[in-house]
Structure 1
Amino acid sequence: MIQGQKTRSRPKRRGQPKIPHTHKPADLTPVDWQRALRRQFGREQAFRWENIGDEAIFSDFHVTNPETRSRYRVTVRGLQPGDNHCSCPDFATNELGTCKHIEFVVGKLLKKRGAKAAFARGYQPAFSELVLHNDGHRFVRFRPGTACPAPLARASAGLFEQPGGDLRPDRSGDLESFISAAAKAGHELRVQDEVLDFVAGLRDAAYRARTLDRLFPRGAADWGRARLTKLALYPYQVEGALFAVRAGRALIGDEMGLGKTAQAIAAAEILARHFGVSRVLVICPTSLKYQWQGELLRFAGRKARVIAGGRALRQKDYAQDDFCKITNYEKLDPDLDLITGWAPELVIVDEAQRIKNWNTIAARALKRIDSPYAVVLTGTPLENKLEELISIVQYVDQHRLGPTWRLLHEHQVRDEAGRVIGYAGLDTIGKTLAPIMIRRRKAEVLRQLPGRTDSTILVPMTEAQMRYHEDNADIVARIVQRWRKTRFLSDTDQRRLTCALQNMRMACNSTYLLDHESDHGVKADEVAALVDDLAAQDAKAVIFSQWTRSHDIVIRRLEARGLGYVSFHGGVPSEKRPALVQRFAEDADCRVFLSTDAGSTGLNLQHATTLINMDLPWNPAILEQRIARIHRMGQKRPVRIVNLVAKGTIEEGMLGVLAFKRSLSAGILDGGAGEVSLGGSRLNRFMKDVENVTGRMGEAAEVAPAEERVLEVAAPVADAKSRRAGIAGDARPSSAKPDKGDARPSPVATPAPNDPWAALAGLGRQLLGAFAAAHDDDVAHPWVERDAASGRSSLKIPLPPAETARELATALARLADMLQGRERL
């Protein structure tokens, strides 16, 4: 180039516009959109790849993700969807005929010299292939090679729809002889592992069906003759067990209390006696491990090994030759190698709502446990959104619902901005699941089950409770107002919001839940009155609260009355939990079973006839889990459910805000409405819930379910002296331990008698807490007042009782004397 000569710059080539991940472009079909997304993502990756075959283009490749260290095998045969194959999970289920790994390899190959010409000519190998296709349904396809012998080609015509076509549905049993014929002819026939697994599954299903028809020609009516369990089962339970065995991998989604554990054990016995199963792995919450051990012995007479202790002990346990091992979700990931080495043939997954989110460590580990049979148990297969059901079903049968992208496209309702606002066509999902999911409701199968009476008792709030509640309600109101203006909340705001909402709910039970010292509240007294009535009737009660401090204030009242109780919560070691349940069942003096939601699943507490909810959970499914502890199979007496709701508070608003979650579950599982509406994104829906809850405080009579009775309790009349010394129980017991994370400032507490130093220390702690709260606008404290105009904070300290004031003065005088003495020294 001549110096000084100007050159004309080439215009920059514009790249292809990005395909959006959140919404489908108008000019693309859903299938084309999903394929384009995988092509776009695959071509952008920095995967490592290696040709492990003999050819440059049409070959086999290893593709490795350096970040996750996952490696998959990619087979390239052409450029059209379905030509190629990948061993990754997405390719197995997306029904697109491609994936990001295939697109990555094809993109790299297209940059090679002569690659486009090779793809244009097409792949024409001498060998033949059997491949598995998944295009809405799975089928085996025969690809004849150029050297395919004429006799083999003629034999394929009887098995496949056409040369190079799909295997006829009724001829899968003849595929093995076809493979043998190719070997005898000396012709190379390559068969994918997926083909062999698929055909083996078809043969096994046919064999199970024939065997069950022979053993149980009349279904449940033949169960007694089979004598497979020590205890008798209800006919519907036998039907559930037979259904699970026939399906091979099944979801039993019966309503809570119908005996899903017994059905799973019965299914395991059928598989053991008639289908050669000898290794069963039970996965359940920690609290239920020993209960499963007992139920296996009681129903089937089989001993089971509970996996517990350190890694060395667990390794030793997995090396033992047991019929059944029982582990918990938290041990799946660290013990995955031990479980894989033991190779269970049947996996029973209890309380499977624990795997509703595949992003959790336990859920991902469970997906990697390979077993020919699986029985998944949950009374709430769907709690909040459709994706939860998809996650559970994918473990049972990853192909049943089809690809997630298609399912959501067909059933999600979106607004103009692409946000999900509801679901439609939910009834069709239930029909799709029918071959692998069985679900019965109590009304359908247990008409002899005693009646259930629900009542909501509205209890008043004390002034101290209301101060906490209103202060936190102000925080919620400010954050909601900020949300309305900006439609955005920072992480800090979201944390403050959830903290304030929880504080409002805790205040409804007692101030003790917030300050750990005082005990202003009516609920515990109402509980005590209910228990008194039950004790007079020689009856027992289960009391649920989300917080163990609620147990503390109830226990004070029970001990004052000399009533026996047990307290069940997450801090109780799993090996000690069965003893608590046993004591409640067998000890006539043990009247009350206090439980957090750690005991809301799996426990059998039908010795009680009354269940008292001191506080309501956000999720109605959890409420039903609580109730199912006593209203379940085997209960021979009427059951009473009592919900204590603080009047004029957030609890009243909660009574009517979760109808969407109930209708979503009913639409799919129970044949309810096919369409459900919700609002926008997850945060948007949550904020609408918050607005509804806080906006409906004081409307319990309007939103309570029709079958419930709403009662009101009059506010107690008590002067200050009786409130301090009597039933309110202001003094905190020495055995009470504060839960982690609850460091709230406290109002002036009544100290222990004759302990001036305790009074002084208590006042000091409260003053420090008040000073800290005064400098944080989002922390409420009953002593702190803020000027709305200037924003300045001031302390308004309530005067303690006269006796406490005298004790404080005495303590201060002694402290002054001590300080003066030190100065003189």
Structure 2
Amino acid sequence: MSTQPQLIGLIDRPRPEVTFGVVQTHEDGWLIDAQPFVMTRVRNLFRNGRSAWNCGKFTHNPVILPKTPDSGKDLLWLLDRHPLDVGDDVWHDLTRYSERYDRALAAAAVGDSNHSFDLSHGALQMAKPPYWYQAGYVNLVKTVRRILNADWIGGGKSVSLIATLCEPDARPALIVCQPHLTLQFREFLNEFLPDATVQVLKTGMKKEIKPVDVVIVGYTGLRPWQDVLVPYPFRSICFDEIQDLRHLDTEKRRVSIALSERADFVTGYSATPIYNYGSEIWSILDVLSPGCLGAQGDFKREWCTGDRVNSPAALNSYLKSRGLMIRRTAKDVKGSETKPQKQTITLEGDMHTLRQVQDVAKALAMSVLSNRVGESEKSARELDWKLRHATGVAKAKPAAEFVKMLCESGEKVLLFGWHREVYDIWKYHLKNFNPVLCTGSETPAQKQAAKDKFLKDGSCQVFICSLRSGAGIDGLQDVCHLAVFGELDWSPQVLDQCIGRLRPELNKEEILAYFLTIDDGADPFMIERLGDKRSQSDGIIDGKDSEGEILEDGPPADRIRQMAEAYLMLIGEEIPVAEPQSGLHAEVASALRKIKLPSSSEREMQEAIWAALPGLVPDALVEREYRIGERGRLDFLVTSGSDSIAVECKIDQTGRGSVYRQVRRYIEEADVSGVVILAPWSGVSNFVVEDVPVTVVDWAKAKI
């Protein structure tokens, strides 16, 4: 912004004689301290405001607003309605952010409609001119400078990216992409912007950036190259497949923000930026334009319940009207949309493989549902890996037979999976069709060689690709129109990216996608999740109203807990309830697991508990041989306040029916609030009898 408008703003600013409070600069934004009737309006208007207790002159609870264009614009409106004392520095800040809001609004309204592609005298010329909608995007970028391009898969986002780099004020530029796409981007630049000088950064090479027009680095290269990249005077930063930055607290995201803060133009590209919950959009846009949606807490307070966006379609409208995101579909551009045909094929899997892991998977599922801190989290990771791995192996051979049938008819096949052992089975059974691999184990050069062979060698009919390595690969549509999913992913957006590699809009053949499943293992649950209602991604990216979410992927713990329940139901096992995590019950159960117990007799076991338990629960009263009823006794009764936990020891394995009868007796005669039983045990270890939680500690598996 020039100096003159700033001076005019200060000269013309209102200076009311009567004010009802003050607006001050705070380290976290703008602090509003005003009389109660004004603060009521402030809290109703600014849902993203945060309380600043006991630091106000006019109110005990001032509000801090994040410094965003939205807040600046709304705060100026508030000052017109309720005059507050504002210093010149704060006024300058407010008008600056408000003008940013106005410019973005105007640019979002007209920028995309300007389809001319006019370059200056010193610009690099494109060998192939961009399409009209790509030119419209370039003109929009020139005005808003920071934006997410979420055009449809196959919509030429790579060409749109390259077209933004023609002008001299956009270079030098840095393109950040997935590691296996660095060489492909160099090829794109050679094809569309041949006069641009390019450097691809690789691990192991001398950490020096040459004076070139475009530097390309993989996301995994951001951390080792950060000391060279961050201080380099890049004018443009372009994040391809920006969904890689959706996770908070990663080093590559921190480096990306540092790069973004120093650049003039920052753009992101992904048709599927949201893989799970809608709150991921904050993480992505905050990289492109730090602070554009306020702090994460501010964004969640205004838009979300937890991580779930309350109104995805409204957020879509907001992001597009603010010039933060642009999204065109094939129907918008071409007037029609080519959708791939999808078919689920149920195979006869190798049940022996699944039976081999059934006991382990059952134990892990029980542990996941136990809610024991540390143990359940580890079990969740193991259950997810073991059950999906066993499912993949169980159907690997029949999946290979299905692909073999397609290849024998002369087709080339894009085959997606996840586990290395599954790839090995496929390679063996499909060896006559010369399969090549593009997974997490190959270098970018090896992946490029595999793609070249698949495209040019007629005898190479199978391209085995990792589910998470499919994003961004281009050219496969020239020789292939069949996608086969030998394994599934939790995210439908990952599956969309995989199918998108066959470019439905450009492919001469109809795209066919086959999802191969079995009626056991992880598949039934994953299919149910993938077939659920529409996602937040549909609402936020496409602006569609949705009643629910497709694949409520969410926190892994929630997802795996549900898979654990589904698996236990599938194999006919009872689902345990969660063990209490606080209170006397949890304290007693935890203490008993720490005691090394003799197994020769119940009397010796009770002696060991009597010697150790009082010291492990010092704030509770431990009583031994506690009398209940006329002739009954409890081995131990542990009491604290209104809580009383019965503890019983069993040297021999006991049955579920016997335990139920005992627990009911304890409830009736001792009015206990919980029961902990030490006994050799198999099956559900946490359950409820008449609303009283029961935990069975298998003393044979005690930790100490």
Q: Normalised by the size of structure 2, how large is the TM-score?
A: 0.65
| 2:282 partner SS | helix
Give CA-to-partner distance per residue, 1:32-66, whole Å, 9 cap, x none. Answer: xxxxxxxxxxxxxxxxxxxxxxxxxxxxxxxxxxx
Whole-Å Cα distance in 2 between the matches of residues 232 and 409 of structure 1? Answer: 44
Give the letter aligned to residue 479 of structure 1: S
Does 2:529 match 1:637? no
Whole-Å Cα distance in 1 between the matches of residues 445 and 535 of structure 2? Answer: 38
Whole-Å Cα distance in 2 between the matches of residues 408 and 356 of structure 1? Answer: 15
What is aligned with 2:283? 391
Whole-Å Cα distance in 2 between the matches of residues 383 and 558 of structure 1? Answer: 32
Which of 535, 538, 542 aligns to 1:670? It is 542
What is aligned with 2:126? 229
Give CA-to-partner distance per residue, 1:65-89, whole Å, 9 cap, x none. Answer: xxxxxxxxxxxxxx97632343x68
Alpha carbons of structure 1 residues 591 and 229: separation in structure 2 relative to 1, 3 Å? same
Give the letter aligned to residue 229 of structure 1: M
| 1:305 partner SS | strand
| 1:83 partner SS | strand
Cα deviation, residue 496, structure 1: 1.9
Q: Verify the 8 A CA contact 1:449 1:636 in the aligned structure 2.
A: no
Alignment of 1:145-164 (within 5 A): none
What is aligned with 1:495? 378
What is aligned with 1:548? 420
Q: Verify the 8 A CA contact 1:540 1:608 in the aligned structure 2.
A: yes
Cα deviation, residue 279, structure 1: 1.0
| 2:544 partner SS | coil
Whole-Å Cα distance in 1 between the matches of residues 250 and 423 of structure 2? Answer: 31
Give the letter aligned to residue 219 of structure 1: H
Alignment of 1:533-682 (within 5 A): 533-537=406-410, 539-559=411-431, 561=432, 563-604=433-474, 605-606=476-477, 607-658=479-530, 662-673=534-545, 676=548, 682=555
What is aligned with 1:291? 184
Whole-Å Cα distance in 1 between the matches of residues 108 and 406 of structure 2? Answer: 55
Q: Verify the 8 A CA contact 1:422 1:679 in the aligned structure 2.
A: no
What is aligned with 1:278? 171
Whole-Å Cα distance in 2 between the matches of residues 267 and 421 of structure 1? Answer: 33
Does 2:325 match 1:455? no
Does 2:319 match 1:433? yes
Does 2:559 match 1:686? yes
Give CA-to-partner distance per residue, 1:545-569, whole Å, 9 cap, x none. Answer: 101221211111222x3x2221111
Whole-Å Cα distance in 1 between the matches of residues 113 and 142 of structure 2? Answer: 15
Q: Which runs of 5+ in 1 are unaligned?
A: 1-78, 111-115, 121-131, 143-159, 168-187, 414-419, 511-520, 699-785, 794-825
Cα deviation, residue 326, structure 1: 0.8
Does 2:257 match 1:360? no
Whole-Å Cα distance in 2 between the matches of residues 400 and 450 of structure 1? Answer: 35
Give CA-to-partner distance per residue, 1:346-368, whole Å, 9 cap, x none. Answer: 11001111111231111122112
Q: Verify the 8 A CA contact 1:568 1:596 in the aligned structure 2.
A: yes
Cα deviation, residue 382, structure 1: 1.6
Cα deviation, residue 647, structure 1: 2.0
Alpha carbons of structure 1 residues 90 and 395: separation in structure 2 relative to 1, 3 Å? farther
Whole-Å Cα distance in 2 between the matches of residues 217 and 380 of structure 1? Answer: 24
Whole-Å Cα distance in 1 between the matches of residues 140 and 497 of structure 2? Answer: 24
Q: Verify the 8 A CA contact 2:417 2:485 in the aligned structure 1.
A: yes
What is aligned with 2:293? 401
Q: Verify the 8 A CA contact 1:351 1:601 in the aligned structure 2.
A: yes
Give the letter aligned to residue 284 of structure 1: C
Larger radius of gyration: 1
Whole-Å Cα distance in 2 between the matches of residues 661 and 495 of structure 1? Answer: 30
Whole-Å Cα distance in 2 between the matches of residues 218 and 324 of structure 1? Answer: 26
| 1:362 partner SS | helix
Cα deviation, residue 381, structure 1: 1.9
| 1:335 partner SS | helix
Which of 145, 149, 158 aligns to 1:252? It is 149
Whole-Å Cα distance in 1 between the matches of residues 337 and 105 of structure 2? Answer: 37
Alignment of 1:303-322 (within 5 A): 303-310=197-204, 313-314=206-207, 316-317=208-209, 320-322=210-212
What is aligned with 1:347? 237
Instruction: Work out the number of aligned pairs and report it.
Output: 530
Cα deviation, residue 614, structure 1: 0.7
Q: Verify the 8 A CA contact 2:200 2:216 in the aligned structure 1.
A: yes
Q: Normalised by the size of structure 1, how large is the TM-score?
A: 0.56
Alignment of 1:38-77 (within 5 A): none
Alpha carbons of structure 1 residues 133 and 379: separation in structure 2 relative to 1, 3 Å? closer
Q: Verify the 8 A CA contact 2:116 2:135 in the aligned structure 1.
A: yes
Give the letter aligned to residue 609 of structure 1: H
Alpha carbons of structure 1 residues 89 and 335: separation in structure 2 relative to 1, 3 Å? farther
Alpha carbons of structure 1 residues 299 and 692: separation in structure 2 relative to 1, 3 Å? farther
Whole-Å Cα distance in 2 between the matches of residues 529 and 564 of structure 1? Answer: 16
Q: Verify the 8 A CA contact 2:243 2:273 in the aligned structure 1.
A: yes
| 2:435 partner SS | strand
Q: Verify the 8 A CA contact 2:172 2:236 in the aligned structure 1.
A: yes
Does 2:24 match 1:83? yes
| 2:545 partner SS | coil
Give the letter aligned to residue 254 of structure 2: R
Does 2:219 match 1:323? no
Whole-Å Cα distance in 2 between the matches of residues 681 and 640 of structure 1? Answer: 29
Give CA-to-partner distance per residue, 1:755-777, whole Å, 9 cap, x none. Answer: xxxxxxxxxxxxxxxxxxxxxxx
| 2:185 partner SS | helix
Whole-Å Cα distance in 2 between the matches of residues 634 and 470 of structure 1? Answer: 45
Give CA-to-partner distance per residue, 1:567-613, whole Å, 9 cap, x none. Answer: 11112122332222122111222111111134221112212111111
Cα deviation, residue 535, structure 1: 4.0
Q: Verify the 8 A CA contact 1:400 1:433 in the aligned structure 2.
A: no
Q: Which runs of 5+ in 2 are unaligned?
A: 1-19, 33-42, 60-65, 572-679, 684-696
Give the letter aligned to residue 289 of structure 1: T
Whole-Å Cα distance in 2 between the matches of residues 412 and 281 of structure 1? Answer: 33
Q: Verify the 8 A CA contact 1:136 1:402 in the aligned structure 2.
A: no
Alignment of 1:690-709 (within 5 A): 690-691=563-564, 693-694=566-567
Q: Verify the 8 A CA contact 1:346 1:372 in the aligned structure 2.
A: yes
Cα deviation, residue 422, structure 1: 5.4
What is aligned with 1:267? 164
Give the letter aligned to residue 358 of structure 1: L
Q: Verify the 8 A CA contact 1:565 1:591 in the aligned structure 2.
A: yes
Give the letter aligned to residue 454 of structure 2: F
RMSD (Å) for aligned C-alpha atoms = 4.6
Alpha carbons of structure 1 residues 289 and 253: separation in structure 2 relative to 1, 3 Å? same
Q: Verify the 8 A CA contact 1:289 1:328 in the aligned structure 2.
A: yes
Whole-Å Cα distance in 2 between the matches of residues 600 and 502 of structure 1? Answer: 21
What is aligned with 1:772? none
Give the letter aligned to residue 536 of structure 1: S
Q: Verify the 8 A CA contact 2:180 2:444 in the aligned structure 1.
A: yes
Whole-Å Cα distance in 2 between the matches of residues 321 and 232 of structure 1? Answer: 26
| 2:171 partner SS | coil
Whole-Å Cα distance in 1 between the matches of residues 570 and 334 of structure 2? Answer: 37
What is aligned with 1:715? none
Alpha carbons of structure 1 residues 363 and 451: separation in structure 2 relative to 1, 3 Å? closer
Whole-Å Cα distance in 2 between the matches of residues 787 and 336 of structure 1? Answer: 54
Whole-Å Cα distance in 2 between the matches of residues 365 and 89 of structure 1? Answer: 24
Q: Verify the 8 A CA contact 1:83 1:97 in the aligned structure 2.
A: no
Alpha carbons of structure 1 residues 334 and 697: separation in structure 2 relative to 1, 3 Å? same
Give the letter aligned to residue 454 of structure 1: K
Q: Verify the 8 A CA contact 2:348 2:518 in the aligned structure 1.
A: yes
What is aligned with 1:479? 367
Percent of aligned positions that are identical: 19
